[in-house]
Each structure stands twice: as C-alpha cells, then as structure tokens.
Amino acid sequence: MADLQHFGYFFSRGFGPQAWGRSDWDWGHDWTKPDLYQQSVRALEQAGMDLVIAEDAISLGNPSTLDLRIRQAYGGPKHDPLLLAPYLFAATSHIGIAPTVNAGITPPYLAARQFATLAHLSSERFGINVVTDVGSARHAGLPPLPHDQAYDRAEEWITLLRRLWHSWGDAYIGNSQDWSFADGDALDAFHHEGAYFTADGPLNALPLETDPVVVSPGGSGRGLGFAGTHSDVQLALAPLSAAAVRDYRARVVAAALDAGRTADDLRILFVLKPEITVSTDEADRIVSASRHPSDDDLRTAVIAWSSDSETDLLALDLDAPVPAGTFGDHVSAGTIRGLLGDTPDAPLRELLTRKARKGRVSSRSGFVGTAGEFADFIEELGADADNDGIIFSGDLHPAQVYRMFGDLVPVLRQRGLLRREYGSGGLRANLFDF
C-alpha cells in the first residue's frame, strides 16, 4: 500500500466569472453569489481535499493591457476571496480555506485582526496565501518595490502579524466564577516601527490556539527562502518529474534548516492541472490534435500570455523572435522563462505552438491521461521523490470539480494515496497528521 499524500485545490482564476467561455457556463450559476462556490467546496471536502487556495489579484493590470484582460474575463473582474471564505466555512466542516492576501497592500494590524477572527469563526480552518505582488501598489497609493524588497516587506509583515497574534500571551483567564476575563498587565503593548510598517500592540482579538496556516507560492531564491522561514505550505510551481521534485524539495528544506526549522515543519505541494480522460484512446486523440494548433488557438494563447505578463504580445510578429526589452520590470523572471523557455531566439509562433502541445501523463510528457495513469504518476512522485502531495488547479465550478475528481478520487483512495476521513483538528492538524 502506498503512503498517504496531501491534496488540495487551487482556485486558479480567483473569485471571478467561473466557466466563462466554456459550455459549463450554461449550468446557469451566478458567479457573484456564494451558492456556486459552496456547492463546489462541499464536493472537494467529500473528495478529501485538505484545503482550497483562492488566487487573487487586486488590480486589473496596467492601462495598456486592460482590454486584453477583461475582454474574455481572463484577468478580471475579481471579487475579494477573503470575504467569500465565511460562506465556504458555513457550507463545510473540515476543509481549510486559504484566500490570497497581498502583504504589501493589507495593513498588518488590520490583517492580524481579520485573520484571527476568521480563524475563530472557522474552528481554525483558515489560512492565508501570502503574495508580494508589487504591480498593485499604485491602487493603495504606495510606491512599487523591486522584487527582493517586496520580500523584505513581506518578512516584516508576517513577523509583525505573528507578534500581534501572540500579544495576549497568558493574559486570557476566562474564569466565569469571578468573571475575571483577562489580566491586562500580561498583554504585550509593544510599539513596532520598522522599514515598512508602524503598528502598536496588543491585538484587539481573542488569542489563538495556533496561528493560521501560511501558504506561499514564490519560486525565486527569495521566495523559497520565505517559504523555508515562514510558510506551512509551499505552493510549488515546477516541472513535475521525480528529479525536479526532489531538487525543488531539497532547496525548500535547505531554506527551512537555515531558519532553524525542519522538513517536518512544512508541506510542499506541487500544482497539477490534469486533463482526465475515460480511455487511453481518447487521451491519444487529444494529444494528437494538439500537435497542430490553429491560428485561433495561437491567438488564444497570445491573449493568455499577454494577460499573465501584463504585456501586449498581440502586436508582435508571430514569425519573429520576441524582441529584447518587450517585458518590463513588473514581469517576473519565472513568467518570462515560462514563455521563452530555453530558446528565447525562437519565433513566437514556435514558442506558442510548443506551449499548445499536450503530452501523455503515462509517458511523463504532459498531463493528459486516465484516472489510473494519474494515480500511477502521483504514486511514483511519492515513492521516488518523497512528495508531500498535489494541489489540483482549475475553476471552482461544480462541473469542473466533478469532471476532474469523479473518476480520480476512487482510484486514489483504492491506492491508499488519499485520505478517507479527516481528523478532529483544524487545517493545521489535517496537514500535519501524517
């Protein structure tokens, strides 16, 4: 029997128009109302997922790409997933919810108070996915920061949050016999004045049994360092081969050891967006059809990359390389590398065609295959790379959730890879119970 792994779901396009542009839209759900997400998250809890991580971006992007990002609802609109979380908790009993929070935009005292409140309301099933996006700074009247300084700010932010969460110390008494609630002298009435934030304690919220779970997605050296020092879950975006998973894990664990932690103090979960088929013949057909994308397919890919990079690529010559200087400082090295790969001088058409091509999970060349083939792959990563688990990625729409998990969950459970029941604790207990 294989070892259990942890599984979650990345709500990858955020709290926006779910299923827009697909036939699933005709199910008639209203994406602005909670019912759609409550139905989906109940199904994910039934499937045994540990947590749902909700993507977010507070900005629609820079003025030159606004039309690209909203014409097909690719980059917006998005509502605030933090405010959706209570509705998801009300619909479930065990699964954790981790909305994305921008460490540069949300003031630390406000954040600490809101997060402590949600942790109590959810019986400690609340987590935060911490991002350091600097492109949204102008909306909050803040100057943009370079990549590494944004991580400096996030380090100060999360450290301050933890001090606020623990600012009651042993002050809480809660004795209803003499109505002694707390000892004010035991509160930490500190003053913090750092490089980026000024705040006073103590926090006006009840102390926590445990801190909310911290998730982080950064894959740069600074991002992995942040994860090793502060995160409970690293949302890992990396090639999914046993060798790549082992290498990525080693770098995160090394960062944890440097911070005085151990490998057991965090979970590294790799993002996977499977295309599950009912047969190997169907998988072969899908892969074969992807070898020769049409111009419309390439245009769709260009729009997607333009939105993700906030760079208008539609005006570029498909049959020429991407000109030097096309991407501004706001575009991460990882995003650029994801498009250009190892051949930055190749024509854009070739790059896009390469991205459009799909591969079979059975041959480890892509993510198209049957439920059994995906279970083989996940089991292999656990055995050969000591993988902690997988974060599946997609819309939080019932049709997509059932399409992805309808056949996969039974196979994963039969293999002994996926939990059959939850423990009695909150999100942290579920993540660290094995």
* DSSP conformational letter for 293: -
- Backbone φ/ψ region at 141: left (φ over 0), alpha (ψ -120 to 50), beta: left
* Residue linked to tokens 């993540």: 431
E strands, 373-430, where? 389-394
Pairing of strands 198-200, 368-370: unpaired
* pLDDT given at position 1: 66
Beta bridge partners of 370: 277
SS3 172: strand
Q: Which strand (E) or helix (H) includes residue 8? A: strand 6-11
Give, to the nearest 10 degrees, the angle between helix 242-258 and helix 221-230.
60
Which is nearest to 218 in space by CA: 147, 266, 159?
147
Return per-residue pLDDT of the chain as tens, 434 residues.
Answer: 689 999 999 999 899 999 998 999 999 999 999 999 999 999 999 999 999 999 999 999 888 788 888 888 988 999 999 999 999 999 999 999 999 999 989 999 999 999 999 999 999 999 999 999 877 888 888 888 888 999 999 999 999 999 999 999 999 999 999 999 999 999 999 999 999 999 999 999 998 889 999 999 988 899 999 999 999 999 998 889 999 999 999 999 999 999 999 999 999 999 999 999 999 999 999 999 999 998 888 888 888 888 778 888 888 998 999 998 898 777 777 778 878 888 889 999 999 998 889 999 999 999 999 999 999 999 999 999 999 999 999 999 999 999 999 999 999 999 999 999 998 889 999 999 99
* pLDDT given at position 84: 98
Q: Which two tokens stand for residue 387?
A: 């993988």
Phi, psi for 272 (deg, rounded to 5): -140, 130
* pLDDT given at position 276: 97
* DSSP conformational letter for 362: G
Q: The pTM is what?
A: 0.94
* CA atoms of 111 and 130, how far apart (whole Å): 11
E strands, 151-272, where? 172-175, 180-182, 191-193, 198-200, 213-216, 233-236, 267-272
Which is nearest to 61 in space by CA: 131, 132, 129, 139?
139
Beta bridge partners of 389: 6, 269
Q: Is-contact 117 126, C-beta < 8 A?
A: no
Give, to the nearest 10 degrees, the angle between helix 108-121 and helix 147-165.
50
